[in-house]
Amino acid sequence: MIRRITPNNPAGQLVGYARVSTTGQDYSAQVERLKDVGCTKVFSEKQSGTKSDREQLAAALEYVREGDTFVCVKADRIARSTKDFLEIVERLDAKGVQLLILDQPEMSTGKGATAKLLRAVLAAVAEFELSLIRDRMAEGRKRAKEEGTKFGRKPKLNPETVSLLKRLKKDEGLSLEAIAVRTGLSMSTVQRGLRT
């Protein structure tokens, strides 16, 4: 009889992997879900999914042993391209490790040609969707720039701030340090503003 691998009936140890793309994001919700399904070891990192040399993913793949189950919330947490996803699945298969993707169980490890085909098709569709999203974002940014939208941080030195800096220096006779403290600006920003 073939043993069905589910969160309630795992093979070996459940080893989780959580990832977010930027330092401003938080992977705690992923970690919590992984622990809720029984992961006793969780690897996590803040790293772009497009990078293939993700340290914690490599550590997780090295850590798992035959009979274990490698768990993630979504397939795009472990790979952003079909090629990378299928290589990771092959690597896990070679070690005798099952793959469980909580939000996409159809992409979890299954045996046979149909399961492999389904994983490949679904991974390709996910990669295609990501490409479409990137294209739409690029178009939106281009259109916004054409309409005059400025991206990035607002400059600290605008005409009003420069005027204030000069007034504090000339009228009140404050030192650069005192102006920096009063305005909350760095010394270099104060100096740049006074040179303007």
> Would you name the residues annotated as active-site residues?
21
- Contact assessment for residue 102 and residue 33, using Cβ atoms and an 8 Å cutoff: yes
Assess contact for 95 and 65: CB atoms under 8 A.
Answer: yes
Find the DSSP H helices in 4-54: 28-36
Do the beta carbons of residue 99 and residue 109 sit within 8 Å? yes
Alpha carbon of 133 to those of 2, 84, 126, 137, 138: distances in Å? Answer: 40, 19, 11, 6, 9
- Separation CA 27–CA 37 (nearest Å): 16
Tell me the one-letter amino acid at 196: T
First to last CA, the chain: 79
CA nearest 98: which of 183, 196, 7?
7
The strands making up 98-101's β-sheet, listed across from edge to edge, are 41-46, 14-20, 69-72, 98-101
Amino acid at 41: K
